[in-house]
Amino acid sequence: MPRITLRGDFINKAYKPHLQNTHRYQIFFGGAGSGKSVFLATRCVLDALSGRNTLVVRQVARTLKSSCWNEILKAIRRLDLSPLFTVSKTDHTVTARNNGAQILFAGLDDVEKIKSLTPIRGVLTDIWMEEATECAYPDFKQLDKRLRGLSRHPKRLTLSFNPVSRDHWIFKEFFSLWREGKSYAEDERVSILKTTYKDNRFLTPSDRLALEQEKNPYFYQVYTLGNWGVSAPVIFTNWHVESLPDPVPGETRMGLDFGFAADPCGFLLLRYDRKSRTVRVMEEMLERGLTNMDLAQRLRHYAALGPIACDSAEPKSIAELRALGIPAYPVRKGPDSILHGIQWLRQQQLILSPACPRLREELTAYQWQQDRDGHPLPRPRDRDNHLIDALRYALEEEMDRRLASTGDKRALGL
């Protein structure tokens, strides 16, 4: 490794002991803004100069460029190490000039690419799974098997993420050694470090204030405090994330929940397999500030796939979308349609594509209201549920032909 001089404050204090961490499985979790990704990108850069080959993965390949790839390039510049690396923007590789060690990038949605990726010298010594809660357990097991072959460096598989539900496979796989109230735990093969925004001295005062003033109880627990799970009763537990087969089985369904400024507009594309009672959600959109003209442009790609079920509370918006060539139609909400829809959805298997992280967040946080004694009431909290509403609209005809009748779609030209 070339002799380089770094300032003593180039990383946050909480992470310094982990520059040389050699545990096989390393967990870095906690709140938003805690500096996890910046530290691990910095470590990747320094590891390459010492001869380590690292594969950096996320569930969806297209998200790598705006996250881990950029963080690693920024780390090289921040440490003034640009002369020591060759960066290829064509095949997205970073190569250390002193020894040929490489940092490689791949999405778990591109299995064939991962199978064929290999460094130009030596073997993979490290894998970094960013946003690991988006990844499925079988993918983790396959990546673990990629860490094989002779090397003078101990093999390491590193997972970084904001925690979600305690039902997640990461919690079940690694957190038996964890004790609440602690920030670090380890055994012979596993190390776990929890950090929050308080561990990141590089945040601005406004960054800290935004996290401290978070109003959503779930987001405050997860993204501000970095805690697993939620304190209130969660409505949906019958879901998981996995890569969907090609082709995706079932009948195409689409749902749209209107929004503009305070509330975003939510859209889902899914397929429903009636025989296995399985809902597979393929794509999502959640965006604020869309006019109906903007919305029509976003939905034009989906128009040929079939009708789009919309919230009937906005007939004007539905009429405008139809005038713009979008096959939108109103669902007719029956008595207690929200509770009816929730109960029906709870009886299905919900499978989310990794391309739907916002729906995953909504399902994780969607809770029953509580009385003053903390007992759940038969009413969901009406917030952060725009994609869940779109999910109900898309499937209302399946839920109950009588309660969710949408009338004769042929009369609407659909």
C-beta contacts of 271-275 below 8 A and 24+ residues apart:
272/395, 272/398, 273/249, 274/250, 274/398
Q: Give long-range contacts, CB 8 A cutoff, 24+ apart: 16-24.
A: 18/43, 18/191, 18/193, 19/43, 19/46, 21/156, 21/191, 22/154, 22/156, 23/156, 23/186, 23/189, 23/190, 23/191, 24/154, 24/155, 24/156, 24/157, 24/189, 24/190
Percentage of the chain with pLDDT > 90? 68
* Peptide bond between residue 217 and the one before it cis (omega within 30 degrees of 0): no
For the cut 60, the answer to whether the pLDDT of residue 402 exceeds it is no
Tell me which amino acid residue 62 is. R
Those residues whose C-beta lies under 8 Å from the C-beta of residue 399, and which sit 6 or more positions away, are 340, 341, 344, 392
The CA-CA-CA angle for residues 50, 55, 56, to 5°, reads 110
Encode pLDDT of 263-305 as tens digits. 899 999 999 999 999 999 999 999 999 999 999 999 999 999 9
Residue 408's alpha-carbon distances to 28, 315, 332, 360, 405, in angstroms, are 54, 16, 12, 33, 9
Measuring CA to CA, how many Å separate 90 from each of 27, 93, 333?
Answer: 31, 8, 51
3-state SS, residue 83 = helix
Beta strand residue intervals within 235-288, DSSP E? 239-241, 251-257, 265-273, 278-287
Q: List the one residue out of 199, 206, 231 whose CA is nearest residue 28.
A: 199
Terminal Cα-to-Cα distance of the chain (whole angstroms): 66
> What's the pLDDT tens digit per position in 164-206?
877 789 998 999 999 988 999 999 999 999 999 999 999 999 9
Q: What is the pLDDT of residue 368?
A: 86
Measured CA to CA, the distance from residue 32 to residue 59 in angstroms comes to 19
Vertex 290 angle, CA 284 and 296, to 5°: 70
Under the banding of pLDDT at 50, 70 and 90, the label for residue 244 is very high
Edge to edge, the sheet with strand 239-241 lists 239-241, 349-352, 278-287, 265-273, 251-257, 308-310, 328-330
Least confident segment among 35-39, 125-129, 133-137: 133-137
**DSSP assignment of 285-302, as one string?**
EEESS--HHHHHHHHGGG
- pLDDT grade for 403, boundaries at 50, 70 and 90: very low
Q: Please tell me the predicted confidence (pLDDT) of residue 64.
A: 86
pLDDT band, residue 217 (cuts 50/70/90): confident
Average predicted confidence (pLDDT) for the chain:
89
Q: Is 193:178 a contact under the CB 8 Å cutoff?
A: no
Q: What is the pLDDT of residues 366-398, one digit of tens each?
A: 888 876 666 677 788 888 899 999 999 999 989
* CA-based nearest residue to 236, from 386, 360, 117: 360
- The model's pLDDT over 77-99, given as tens digits with 9 standing for 90+, comes to 999 999 999 999 998 999 999 99
Whether 95 and 88 have beta carbons less than 8 Å apart is answered as: yes
Enter the tokens of residue 246. 């090609």
Quick: pLDDT tens for 318-342.
999 999 999 999 997 766 788 889 9
Angstrom distance (rounded) from CA 396 to CA 406: 9
Task: Give the dihedral sign, CA 160/163/164/167.
Answer: positive
Pairwise CA distance, residues 285 & 342, whole Å: 21
Per-residue confidence band for 412, with pLDDT thresholds at 50, 70 and 90: very low
